[in-house]
Amino acid sequence: MTLLDIVNLRVHYPVRSGLLGRPRNYVRAVDDVSFSIESGETLGLVGESGCGKTTLARAIVRLIKPTSGTIQFEGTDISKVSKKELCSLRRRFQMIFQDPYSSLNPRMTVGEIIKEPIAIHRLAPKGEPSDRRVGELLAAVGLEPAHAQRFPDEFSGGQRQRVGIARALAVSPKLIVCDEPVSALDVSVQAQIINLLKALQQTAQIAYLFIAHDLAVVEHMSSRIMVMYLGKIVELGVAKDIVSTPRHPYTQALISAVPVLDPETKRKKILLPGDVPSPIHPPAGCPFHTRCPIAQFPRCQAEVPTLREVIPGHWAACHFA
Amino acid sequence: MPLLEIKNLKLDFLSNGQKLRVIDDVSLTIGAGETVCLVGESGCGKTVTALSIAQLLPSPPAQYPAGEILLQKKDVLKMSKAELRSIRGGVVSYVFQEPGASLNPVVRIGSQLKEMLKLHRPKDASNTEVLRLLKLVGLSAPESRMKNYPFEMSGGMQQRVMIAIALAAQPKLLIADEPTTALDVTIQSQILELLRNLKREFKMALLLITHNLGIVGEMADRVAVMYAGQIVELAPALELLRRPLHPYTKALIESVPKLADTRRELAAIPGAVPSPGKFPPGCRFYPRCPSARPECATRMPDLAKFEDERWVRCLYAK
């Protein structure tokens, strides 16, 4: 069943000159993006900094109002609902943030942090969320019920991320948007959180939008992967196909750039020249043509490639895919 | 004779009248032209080890109760200020994680490069040499770029400038502390390629600090793995990655997902990295070790020779 269906979503930020000046230009952070997430699945999202992945994540949970397009969540278009409706809908989708230090209120105990969403959504039978429920949630993320009395600064990064996960789970959501949930953690702790997220999905049938810049982590977590470049989806398909037979030259370069442990299995490196262009003035035609090793002119400079189904279930936005 | 020889180094930080030991008995050598990777998680002491080599830690709080750091046979712990000034940049140069934070934000990058030349090679402090160095590190349009301020450049370009500054005085040893951690993967592979080429061209030694085992596989001749202020394993890179001896190294390798990995679950290491001052007695990895035995709780193992070129700090390594 389709849980989330996004059609032609755009988020453009105005670039103003001076304090009150008219917007001179727009940063096209998310530019005409369409995709869907099935219930209980994990869709991975990869891309480099500035490609729009965080903006997309925040637009989906409506922390940012999209410029245009629709976000259907369980049949309701949440891109246009009122604040009040949005508040009650948010029970169904939650978010886990990258930085476990700044995403927990340092003045609240862990117990208060976890009780807050339960109270807001009036999910406790007698009005007051119980300590027992908090204890259950803490146990579910691998912490101890006694931890509820403590403050965030008494915990390590990995433990704080567990608190963030417990807070998201408190309202039994159907979708959790995970924005780089393991990037700030030590390698040995990363695996704990990845395993925890996978186990929780098994028991509670939660769908994830899992964002990370580490392709191996995303592949491990996801059933499907979506690759973004300059605000657009350039490739979308089943995780293992994306990694084994990437169709878009950008995805091919991304995969070849991942450093490998064993030098004997070294892949051929595709070194991309230069940097990601500015999303204020994206290149005409294909946004990737300025760095693409297989670009052909004038076509790639003139014609914007559409995201098309190259083989069933595998989509790529390249003229030559 | 190795270029750098660190012998039984100990480092304490004084804080609130307390002594915190952050490095405990670290020994490491780097030969001329060799690439050594120092691997470990946050707080294991890899950065302070690297900063100690050119005495970049302020004292107090840093104190060296024991050990030697022999750079070209001379102990940097006993050097005068003038001697230190000449080796900083001249023999040992650094590239740090955040290029944006390492460059002076209000000075054009050309001038920052020239400053380094004036100090170490005053005769060559010209725009021509600045341009040559910027070209060497692959900065596009160096003529106009040299007039840029750091904020006008991307992270990858800033890191290239940092590398140009570090190379300006033709050091014998380049220390790169997580040089690509703040960069995107495609930019990371550009910078690693650049470091590899420059190292070959100048026959420079490279001490590369990273937490990414993939980078070790691509760059290192030898690897030192650090945990809780100590080196726990030291070995040629390929052998270490294929046949890790220390349980921590083993666990670290198994805990990272690899591309096209078929495992359903990752082998996570329980618990968290201990912070300085809270290191357990006995073996420091003992509380998290899957193969720990009762003796590990009380007896601290030495970094012992296991076989040719391989050293490991574990009572039961096999």
A255 touching B, CB under 8 A? Answer: yes
DSSP A62: T
B259 touching A, CB under 8 A? Answer: yes
ipTM for the predicted complex comes to 0.81
Tell me how far CA of residue A94 lies from CA of A77, A106, A208, in angstroms: 17, 20, 10
Place of tokens 């968290």: B272
Average per-residue pLDDT for chain A? 91
- For the stretch A237-277, pLDDT in tens is 999 999 999 999 999 999 998 888 876 666 678 888 888 88
pLDDT reported for residue A277 = 87
| Residues paired with residue A73 on neighbouring β-strands, in sequence order | A4, A76
Calculate what percentage of chain A has a pLDDT beyond 90: 66
Where does A2-92+174-186+204-316 sit in CATH, by number?
3.40.50.300
Place of tokens 């090679």: B121
Is A130 within 8 Å of A148 (Cβ atoms)? Answer: no
Joined together, the tokens standing for residue B3 give 């270029």
pLDDT reported for residue B29 = 95
> Under DSSP, is residue A63 helix (H, G, I), strand (E, B) or coil?
coil
A235 touching B, CB under 8 A? Answer: no
Concatenating the DSSP letter of every residue in chain B gives --SEEEEEEEEEEEETTEEEEEEEEEEEEE-TT-EEEEE--TTSSHHHHHHHHTT-S-TTTEEEEEEEEEETTEEGGG--HHHHHHHBTTTEEEE-S-HHHHS-TTS-HHHHHHHHHHHH-GGG-SHHHHHHHHHHTT-SSHHHHTT--GGGS-HHHHHHHHHHHHHTT--SEEEEESTTTTS-HHHHHHHHHHHHHHHHHHT-EEEEEES-HHHHHHH-SEEEEEETTEEEEEEEHHHHHHS--SHHHHHHHHHS--TT---SS--PPPS-PPPTT-PPSSSTTGGG-TT--GGGGT-PPP-EEEETTEEE--TT--
pLDDT reported for residue B30 = 96
- Between A96 and B274, name the one with better pLDDT: A96
Dihedral sign (CA A33, A36, A40, A42): negative
- Compare CB distances from B214 to A198, A258, A272 and report the shortest one's residue: A258
Sheet containing B35-39: order of strands: B92-95, B173-177, B205-210, B35-39, B222-227, B230-236, B310-312, B304-307
- Compare CB distances from A192 to B157, B215, B268 and report the shortest one's residue: B268
| Confidence at B156, pLDDT banded by 50, 70, 90 | confident
Q: Which residues on B lie below 8 Å from A257 (Cβ)?
A: 185-186, 188-189
**Cα–Cα dist A243/A258, whole Å:** 11
Query: In angstroms, how far is the first alpha carbon of chain A from the final one?
Result: 29
Q: Which residues on B lie below 8 Å from A269 (Cβ)?
A: 189, 193
A1 touching B, CB under 8 A? Answer: no
Let me know the angle formed at the C-alpha of B81 by B76 and B86, rounded to the nearest 5 degrees: 75
> Under DSSP, is residue A116 helix (H, G, I), strand (E, B) or coil?
helix
pLDDT reported for residue B155 = 86
Sheet containing B74-75: order of strands: B18-30, B4-15, B62-71, B74-75
- Verify whether the Cβ–Cβ distance B211 to A243 is below 8 Å: no
- Verify whether the Cβ–Cβ distance A217 to B257 is below 8 Å: yes
pLDDT reported for residue A264 = 67
Tell me how far CA of residue B43 lies from CA of A18, B36, B228, in angstroms: 43, 19, 7
**Cα–Cα dist B296/B293, whole Å:** 6
pLDDT reported for residue B42 = 83
One-letter identity of residue B135: K
pLDDT reported for residue A127 = 66
- For the stretch A172-212, pLDDT in tens is 999 999 999 998 888 888 999 999 999 999 999 999 999 99
> Under DSSP, is residue A232 helix (H, G, I), strand (E, B) or coil?
strand
Domain ranges in chain A are 2-92+174-186+204-316, 104-172
- Verify whether the Cβ–Cβ distance B269 to A191 is below 8 Å: yes
Concatenating the DSSP letter of every residue in B236-291 gives EHHHHHHS--SHHHHHHHHHS--TT---SS--PPPS-PPPTT-PPSSSTTGGG-TT
Average pLDDT (A219-248) is 95
- For the stretch B187-216, pLDDT in tens is 899 899 999 999 999 899 999 999 899 999
Return the number of CB contacts < 8 Å for A and B: 130
- Verify whether the Cβ–Cβ distance B214 to A159 is below 8 Å: no
Helices A110-120, A157-169: axis angle to 10 degrees equals: 20
- Verify whether the Cβ–Cβ distance B185 to A213 is below 8 Å: yes
pLDDT score of A73 more than 70: yes
- Verify whether the Cβ–Cβ distance A275 to B187 is below 8 Å: yes
pLDDT reported for residue B17 = 81
Joined together, the tokens standing for residue B87 give 């080796």
A272 touching B, CB under 8 A? Answer: yes
pLDDT score of B39 more than 90: yes
Average pLDDT (B304-317) is 93
| Confidence at B71, pLDDT banded by 50, 70, 90 | very high
Q: Which residues on A lie below 8 Å from B273 (Cβ)?
A: 156, 186, 188-189
pLDDT score of A316 more than 90: yes
Q: How many CB atoms lie within 10 A of CB A22?
A: 8
Helices B247-255, A187-204: axis angle to 10 degrees equals: 50
A257 touching B, CB under 8 A? Answer: yes
- For the stretch A7-30, pLDDT in tens is 999 999 988 776 677 777 888 999
Q: Which residues on A lie below 8 Å from B246 (Cβ)?
A: none
pLDDT reported for residue A100 = 86
pLDDT reported for residue A174 = 95
Is B245 within 8 Å of B312 (Cβ atoms)? Answer: yes
- For the stretch B91-146, pLDDT in tens is 999 999 888 889 999 999 999 999 999 988 999 989 999 999 999 898 888 898 99
Tell me how far CA of residue A244 lies from CA of A73, A214, A251, in angstroms: 31, 16, 11
**Distance from CA of residue B254 to its chain's centroid?**
22
**Distance from CA of residue B182 to its chain's centroid?**
15
- For the stretch A143-158, pLDDT in tens is 999 999 999 998 888 8
Joined together, the tokens standing for residue B231 give 């080196």
pLDDT reported for residue A268 = 77
pLDDT reported for residue B97 = 86
